[in-house]
A and B are shown apart, each in its own frame.
Chain A
Amino acid sequence: MKLSEDDIYRTSTQYKHWSFTPAQLAAQRQKTNLVAAERVKANVARQRATRAKQLDTASASESDRANTPGIENGNGEGGSTPARPGGEVECLTVAEEMKLVDVFCERALELGAFCGFPIEVTATGIQFLRRFYLYNSPMTYEGQNISRTCIFLANKTEGIHVTAEEYAAKFSNVTSDQVLAPEYLIVQALRFNFDVRHPFRGLKGAHLELWEIAKGKFAPLPHDSRTGEAAQAEMLALPTKTGEPAGKRVSVNEFEKRLTATYNAASAVLKTAALLTDAYFLYPPSQIMLAAHLLADEPLTLFYLSTKLPPSSPIHAKLLSTIRACATLLSSHRSFTSSSTIKEEKEARDKKEKSAVAALIKKLRHCRDPDKLDLVQLNQAHKRDAVQDGSLEEQKAKRRKLEREKAKKEADDFWGPELPKNGAKAG
């Protein structure tokens, strides 16, 4: 009855509830988008109807809609329905939603850096955000509020204690109520799964072993017959690029520099690109870590993998292809700066990106779900005995409270609460 690392990972909620195939992920997003779009349309229509009734003049809402320039010439390819003033709302498409979530995530990364939180807090917060937006649409809940609260939640889960007031004080015009309002909503959407397995923790473990090998203190697994010296020699003679023949042996100190550089590069990838892509949904953290390592130093990673799995192992080839696929995903992200990218090209790309995002946010502003705009009030309404303006409500609340207390007291009695009158007669 021995468990391996894989079995332990299988018990995690990340594996059980938050791992998907790409097809599942796409289907889920499609579904979320569809549902949210329908609701937005219904809610906007309803709101318009009530407003029209209230004002008794249709022109008011008409003019409201009229001063919305620039949607039509935004992204033509995404619009399912052309926006007509006063007609159907033009909702975001799945691709646009994904783009927006990515933007939120990037902003959350900046937010974490701005508040000076450690990277694991920010990383957990970003994963919360991504998980939240897998089942909720940015059209329903606004990204800024959600990401703020996600980071706040991540602080709690990572064991860094910041009170809501302290946290809210870091921003201008944000009250602690605003931070706390969507908290329960997020926690529900996360299905109370707070555990996020990050790959950058494992990176340290991998480097513990790599350093040991470099120093000739290789502890081989049963399948490996190499001695410490042999592994060290092989490692020190590793070429810097794949495909090259084994180079000449470098000194241990020299190699340690290479290890440090690799660590830094891999860690940078894990702390940006890995967070901002779907890698966490698609791959276990170990494979993400190795993929980032592969991007940083391919020969070294392949050598390291060979000490873990013999090339004859049936999963070796499969694992390598999975890791390569993950590496492709990581390197496809904008933040991944490979030496091949030219600076001007990158700047131009960033600029284009920025304008696209601005257009998206503008579009989002017109297709927000009007019911979910004020999260603070929604949260208040959800609470027991919510006092909503007026003493009538207050009286009701008081009466309800009294009733509850009475029922509780009776339930504590030895024979339980009294039976209903008619029930007693029937018995």
Chain B
Amino acid sequence: MSKSARAPGASSKRLAEDGGASPLSHSLHSLSLQHSSPSKPARSPAVADPSSDICPVCKSSRYLNPNMRFLVNPECYHKMCESCVDRIFSHGPAPCPIAGCKRTLRKAKFRRQTFEDLKVEREVDIRRRVARAMNKQESDFETLKDYNDYLETVEEITWNLILKIDVENTERRLRLWEETQKAERDPNAPRRLAEPDPSLPSDTSHVVLKKGATQRKALAASSGNTPDPFGTSDDADKDAGFVFHGLKKYVPPEPEKPFNPFGGWGIEPKYYVFQKDYDVDWLTRQKNDPGHLVGGYDMQDFYSRCLREAFGGLGIFIEDEIIARENQASGDAGVGTRSAATAAAGGKDVDMSDVF
């Protein structure tokens, strides 16, 4: 669950921190994965709790409806049964029906809970989100200490969010960091305005069922003209959310070169200059013969082959080259001729059928 440091020193430190942490960490130790599945709704007797089998919204119980399933929304983690979700949220976003909770929920966000303990469920969600933004590795840092400092910051953010300490500021910094990272990785991507993550609780959020015209105007104004309330601006030295000491600068990978199937090899004639067309009498018939042209026969293929054959080996003096070849490596040169020679000397025909 928690990020583990690779260095032994750091890990011991991290352990100590984990060990002496808040009561929530106890729930981490006692977390258990739910084994229930649609086909097996029955629970183990140890965790059987009569209240967990009754929907807090419609008060129907599993006793009456054995196929009942409970869903939660990561917005507020309030449990309700599937039919309630269908009933309340199928016409669009609506406020949470639990008394005292004013959050707006959407049907699409409802899901089955993974962990028995909803606190654990929430922590896991937060950790997942933080891990998505803070995805540096040890190799991205110059020293191990820098990396450990980074890990500590990450853990701090995580616990801030879990324990709801300074949530607004942390959220903002996290978002900024995510934005800058994205811009760095993909400079061509269109910059999106950072929207508050609906999966995370925030005190400022209020029930907005349908955006009125005035509200929309206000939103547009705040995003466009008015200075950012958090003071982010498009300056060169803008706030990246976090500053990590010793973080290596991101070097974008080199753009891929166009693929060359021949690995850069090519044929460059030494003794002739290849022309596009050769105007010779004895080829006019072939050039205009549809029988040649229809099949896609290219006269240039003919030209290039003719010329290559005409000068292939013009500068090769066989006697010299063979002597050089013999001198250079008497072992492997001319394997074919050599083996044939030995075979002939041995008084046997070259019979390769034994090989197979």
**Interface residues, chain A, CB within 8 Å of chain B?**
1-6, 8-10, 12, 15-17, 19-22, 24, 28, 31-32, 35, 38-39, 135-136, 140, 184-185, 188-189, 191, 193, 197-199, 201-209, 211-212, 215, 217, 219-221, 256, 282-287, 289-290, 308-309, 315, 318-319, 322, 382
Contact = CB atoms under 8 A, between A and B. Distances in A.
Contacts of A287: 313-314
Interface stretch (B26-34, B126-134, B184-192, B343-351): B343-351
A202 B336 contact: no
Nearest to A321: B317
Interface stretch (B42-50, B77-85, B234-242, B272-280): B272-280
A282 B306 CA distance: 21
Nearest to A20: B322
A39 B347 contact: yes
Contact of A188 (B263, B314, B352): B352
A49 B310 CA distance: 57
Interface in B111-130: none
Contacts of B275: 212, 217, 219
B264 interface: yes
A362 to B, nearest CB: 26
Interface string B313-356: 11111110011000000000010110011001101011111000
Nearest to B313: A284
Chain B interface size band reads 35 or more
Contacts of B266: 1-3
Contact of B312 (A208, A221, A282, A284): A284
B96 to A, nearest CB: 60
B270 A21 contact: no
Interface in B265-312: 265-273, 275, 278-281, 303, 305-312
A264 B322 CA distance: 33
10 contacts: A2-B265, A6-B270, A10-B313, A15-B313, A20-B337, A31-B345, A135-B350, A188-B352, A199-B309, A286-B310
A209 B315 contact: no
B336 A191 contact: yes
Q: Counting chain B CB atoms within 10 Å of each CB, which of A12, A136, A284 scores highest? A: A284
B316 A284 contact: yes
A323 to B, nearest CB: 9
A269 to B, nearest CB: 15
A5 B312 contact: yes
Contact of A204 (B279, B306, B323, B351): B306
B97 to A, nearest CB: 61
A201 B305 contact: yes
Nearest to A315: B315
A197 B314 CA distance: 13
A155 to B, nearest CB: 21
Contacts of B336: 16-17, 191, 193
Nearest to B340: A135
B101 to A, nearest CB: 62
Given A135-B344, A201-B306, A285-B313, A4 B280 contact: no
A9 B303 contact: no
Nearest to B307: A205
Contact of A32 (B312, B337, B344): B344
